[in-house]
Structure 1
Amino acid sequence: MASQHRALRSPAELIVVTHGTERPLTPSVLEQSRGIESRLAALLPPGAELARIFGPANRLPGRVAGTPHEPVAAEYLKYFSVRGLDQDLDAIAARLREDDAVDGAYVKPPAEPPIAPYDTIETATTDAPPVTPNFEVRQGYLDPAPEGVDARSAWTVPGGRGAGVRMIDIEGAWRFTHEDLLANQGGVIGGNTSPDRGWRNHGTAVAGEISGDVNAFGITGIAPETFIRAVSIFGAGTAAAIRTAVDALGAGDVVLIELHRPGPRFNYADRPDQAGYIALEWWPDDLAAIRYANGRGVIVVEAGGNGAEDLDDALYDARPFGFPASWRNPFRGGAADSGAIMVGAGAPPPGFHGRDHGPARSRLAFSNFGSRIDAQGWGREVTTTGYGDLQGGSDEDLWYTDVFSGTSSAAPIVTGAVASYQGMSAAAGRRRTPAEMRARLRATGSPQTSAPGRPASQRIGNLPDLRAMAAPG
């Protein structure tokens, strides 16, 4: 069968940010925003429409009521996307910037799944056996620390399988009919699912790492009782997909962003080596959506990207043309901090699956790094659902892989640990907040190691250790 490499790229997105101050959502503020919306919509060509990223204005007050964002919720009236266009986006952005109400208008490059660059996965042509073997022994990331996250010890603790935790994956497509993804899943609840097999395999692999079913065959997820659903970025765009997911969750639940996109290092160019690709939070509307999640108590886990970038570089402090004047580099933390848990990609133990990617928990060469990265997961040799190199054939519902990779494979490992720890915390009487969860990941875990040319000072954080996370203190 054909090899699986890069998924089709998502569309570029035109985003408009209007002027506005952080204040409550009074009737006059809402009316003023509607007037601006009408004026900007009139500037668009036929067939294009202006869509509010944070949903209908009249519903926003109810969504922020009782959250820390309620006093400043007018912030979320400022963000719009332009839909129905696939060309001349830069010219339309320039036209919109001429309006006095517009603080910024910019085109975001397409987002992609952050599977390791140049990875090619060959689907086995031999049909699957009548009963799938048990592949759990190949899931080394389940093993005790320091090699894995010690998921099996968490399974012996009340809530440690992720019971009561809801989680939504943000990307492009999934196969929830897979034989190992039939329990504890609610399917796709937003966006238009991509028909591309690369996206579908990717989403299926991510879901398996987190919540693969408990049974006698195939794989087992880190937190298999987590209730998993999905929202596609196709149709609405990345920020609106995040907002849709957040609105379907409650405090202490989890959103996973399984995407990255080209950054400013190489002028936002699409590159097969993914050099310069960065996490989504750097773009103003995605940052606002993640902060919206944080304000509602929803934990966001975000792939750090495969661009081999130092996110502490001063390059990321420079405000790009078209960004609103209020934008500040979120990679610096502080007042601009998104609140998300950002994940880097580390090496599995040498010799695992017969390959050596360097010392265990050392930064893989493609992984972004820097003080902003909170934790790491395996970025190579991840066994999970999808792709079909470990078990293939004619039926995708029986496919498994041994080589899922990138910050794509790393972020679900951290997400699984988060869901497991949240389940244990809830069973013990109190769910953890986003800030508490991030702090716990930074304070515990198996330390990052150095590799030749990739010292531990190039931070990707610790590999989660669920036994240590759950310990008192």
Structure 2
Amino acid sequence: MPNITPFAPELIVVAKPGAGLRARTTGLVSMASADLGDMVAALSEAEATMRPLFGENEERIRLSQAALPAGNGLTGDVPDLSLFYHVEVPGEAPSEALTNLADKLRGMPVVAAAYVKPPTYLAAEAALMQPEPPLAESINDMTAAPAEAPPASPDFTASQLYLDAAPGGIDARYAWTLPGGRGAGVRVIDIEGAWLFTHEDLRVGQGGIIGTATNDLGWRNHGTAVAGVISGDVNTLGITGICPDAHIRGASIFGPGSAGAIRAAADLLSPGDIILIELHRPGPQSTGVGQQGFIAIEWWPDDYAAIRYAVNRGIIVVEAAGNGAVNLDDPIYNTPGAGFPADWRNPFNRAQRDSGAVLVGAGAPPPGTHGRDHGPDRSRLDFSNFGAAVDAQGWGREVTTAGYGNLQGGSSEELWYTDTFSGTSSASPIVVGAIGCTQGVLRARGRIPLSPARTREILRATGSPQTDAPTRPRTQRIGNRPNLRQVISMALQQNNWIGVQFTGTLAANTTQRWFTYNWPAHWHVVWTIVPVSPRPGGAQIRWQVEVERASDRYVTYWISITNLTNEPVNVEARYAVLGW
């Protein structure tokens, strides 16, 4: 199979907040009367234009962002999306030309940042490593078998061993025994380049493509394979998806770029739905040999901003950690890329900044799967990135799904199947499928869906543990493989307790306001304020509870208490957690 055409480099500009920059069809203007002469001249010389990255215009972007919950500092902030711009040049400008233009723009008083993102690749393709020892086994370089498919495709579900019970699989078959356990009511949008939704096993529960897909066969095979893992149809032929009752769409990066596609997808989803990001890029340790040194896209500021936007809307973002074979804990990732904003922080160090996404690494399937051995079950595969920020793993080899055609080929692409889909590309949709099953069970029981933070917490607290492999110890973290029996059990768990959160004293006829913070957002909490100073004869206090969604993870309660009497009164604030 030929190499997959990457999405071209992108020049991103971030304006300073006080510049009042506006990109109109007639050109650039400043609402703050800033001098834009140098910027206009530089863009004109390069025959380049600027457009808002995240929407039609800056005012609409601000309006949609205003509805988001407030951030909580470094770990929960959502950058102002209206400040991000995409610089477009005619034709396919070489990276050097984009870099030169970025250098010119970076020094201008209205510009906070200007940087060039490297080409965006699928988290797939040949992953060539060091020449010595011999080159590692490639990823997703399959070609379709020439033999024509039979009149009716065989049932390949017996080859989908990742559906089986833990620890070898994720126990999807158990989830299917529960109401909603096939992902009913859940929506998924896959961010990449192309799909074949006319495939014979992808004709139910899909909403087509958002944007314009590339006609590249490699991208199309990849998207088709991903969709098959998640939502392959339930029938007597081919494969079956992990959460086949979920509704799936594809959002193409060809046109809006990765960040624009993420933001557009987020606006089409509701809390508890899922975005899957099947992309990675050359990072600071990229060697130019295959995909060595490639990293997850959240490292780039605009992609981080788009992911934070989605997460703060309550959407679960699942992101391939990348096939670069690097340690994401390496201090090199603390150094910003050329032209990044001054407030940029490394999102792989979640103590500094946290995108809220679920990062997925690639683990080995059980030895002997399809007659092959990739090392101990659940051990890190050699190409998979690893580090403290990686939350969970899926099968990174031997995944049976739609597309590619090396299991069943022929002249009709709609009948193609593979049993060797690989990479963090195959691992990530397995994790998406597990989340989709869980959300479906919760919806069927009338429960609120998992939030992004709660999803990550459960994936880390449950599952089949990572194992050691020679030269790849489990300290090179890719996380646990989901175990749906455990995941669903923890998601359904309900505990309750009561207590006193604080006490206080109010002067006569006064009102005082308290706040109490870092309450997990998925808890159901009822507040009661009780006077503890006896005074028979009438009401002593009244109270009002207001709620702030401080972040995806936490809620802050603001409690105003009024003393209705002409004497001081002591009070206590009692909480009752009804379930979590």
Please report the TM-score for the alignment, with normalisation by the length of structure 1: 0.93
Query: What's the counterpart of residue 262 of structure 1?
Result: 282
**8 Å Cα contact 2:360/2:424 also seen in 1:** yes
Query: What's the counterpart of residue 50 of structure 1?
Result: 50
Query: What's the counterpart of residue 235 of structure 1?
Result: 255
Structure 1: unaligned runs, 5 residues or longer: 22-30
Counterpart-to-counterpart distance in 2, 1:114 and 1:401: 17
**8 Å Cα contact 2:184/2:245 also seen in 1:** yes
Q: Could you give the per-residue CA deviations for residues 443-468 of structure 1, whole angstroms, max 9, x where no partner exists?
A: 10100000001000100000001111
- Amino acid corresponding to residue 64 of structure 1 in structure 2: Q
- Amino acid corresponding to residue 102 of structure 2 in structure 1: A
Q: What SS does the aligned partner of 1:289 have?
A: helix
Q: Could you give the per-residue CA deviations for residues 214-263 of structure 1, whole angstroms, max 9, x where no partner exists?
A: 00000000000110001111111111011111111111111000011100
Alignment length, in residue pairs? 457
Q: 1:447 aligns with which of 447, 451, 465?
A: 465
**8 Å Cα contact 1:12/1:108 also seen in 2:** yes
1:404-415 equivalence runs, <5 A: 404-415=421-432
Q: RCO higher in 1 or 2 (8 Å CA, sep ≥ 6)?
A: 1
Deviation at 1:49, TM superposition (A): 2.0
Counterpart-to-counterpart distance in 2, 1:70 and 1:281: 18
1:355-434 equivalence runs, <5 A: 355-428=372-445, 429-434=447-452
User: Structure 1 residue 219 and structure 2 residue 217: aligned?
Assistant: no
Q: 2:121 aligns with which of 112, 116, 141?
A: 112
Deviation at 1:425, TM superposition (A): 1.6
Deviation at 1:372, TM superposition (A): 0.4
Indicate how the Cα distance of structure 1 residues 355 and 47 shifts in structure 2: closer, same or farther if over 3 A, else same: same
Q: 1:157 aligns with which of 158, 178, 185?
A: 178
**8 Å Cα contact 1:9/1:111 also seen in 2:** yes
Q: 2:81 aligns with which of 69, 76, 82?
A: 76
Counterpart-to-counterpart distance in 1, 2:272 and 2:335: 34
Q: Whose helix proportion is higher, 1 or 2?
A: 1
Indicate how the Cα distance of structure 1 residues 399 and 294 shifts in structure 2: closer, same or farther if over 3 A, else same: same
Q: Could you give the per-residue CA deviations for residues 151-206 of structure 1, whole angstroms, max 9, x where no partner exists?
A: 0110111111111111100001110000000000001012x211110000000000
Q: What SS does the aligned partner of 1:343 have?
A: strand
**8 Å Cα contact 1:121/1:389 also seen in 2:** yes
- Amino acid corresponding to residue 83 of structure 1 in structure 2: E
Counterpart-to-counterpart distance in 2, 1:163 and 1:34: 50
Deviation at 1:424, TM superposition (A): 1.1
**8 Å Cα contact 1:172/1:193 also seen in 2:** yes
Query: What's the counterpart of residue 574 of structure 2?
Result: none
Q: 1:279 aligns with which of 292, 296, 309?
A: 296
User: Structure 1 residue 91 and structure 2 residue 92: aligned?
Assistant: no
Larger Rg: 2
Q: What SS does the aligned partner of 2:275 have?
A: strand
Q: What SS does the aligned partner of 1:470 have?
A: helix
Q: What SS does the aligned partner of 2:401 have?
A: strand
Q: 1:15 aligns with which of 12, 32, 47?
A: 12
Deviation at 1:48, TM superposition (A): 2.5
Query: What's the counterpart of residue 486 of structure 2?
Result: 468
Query: What's the counterpart of residue 146 of structure 1?
Result: 167
**8 Å Cα contact 1:33/1:77 also seen in 2:** no
Q: Could you give the per-residue CA deviations for residues 254-312 of structure 1, whole angstroms, max 9, x where no partner exists?
A: 1000011100113xx6432x110000000011001100111111110000000110000
Query: What's the counterpart of residue 304 of structure 1?
Result: 321
Query: What's the counterpart of residue 197 of structure 2?
Result: 176
Deviation at 1:122, TM superposition (A): 2.7
User: Structure 1 residue 194 and structure 2 residue 230: aligned?
Assistant: no
Indicate how the Cα distance of structure 1 residues 458 and 73 shifts in structure 2: closer, same or farther if over 3 A, else same: closer
Indicate how the Cα distance of structure 1 residues 74 and 331 shifts in structure 2: closer, same or farther if over 3 A, else same: closer
1:116-127 equivalence runs, <5 A: 117=127, 118-119=138-139, 120-127=141-148
Q: What SS does the aligned partner of 1:292 have?
A: helix
Q: Whose strand proportion is higher, 1 or 2?
A: 2
Percent identity for Structure 1 against Structure 2:
55
Indicate how the Cα distance of structure 1 residues 160 and 32 shifts in structure 2: closer, same or farther if over 3 A, else same: farther
Counterpart-to-counterpart distance in 1, 2:449 and 2:249: 20
Counterpart-to-counterpart distance in 1, 2:425 and 2:369: 19
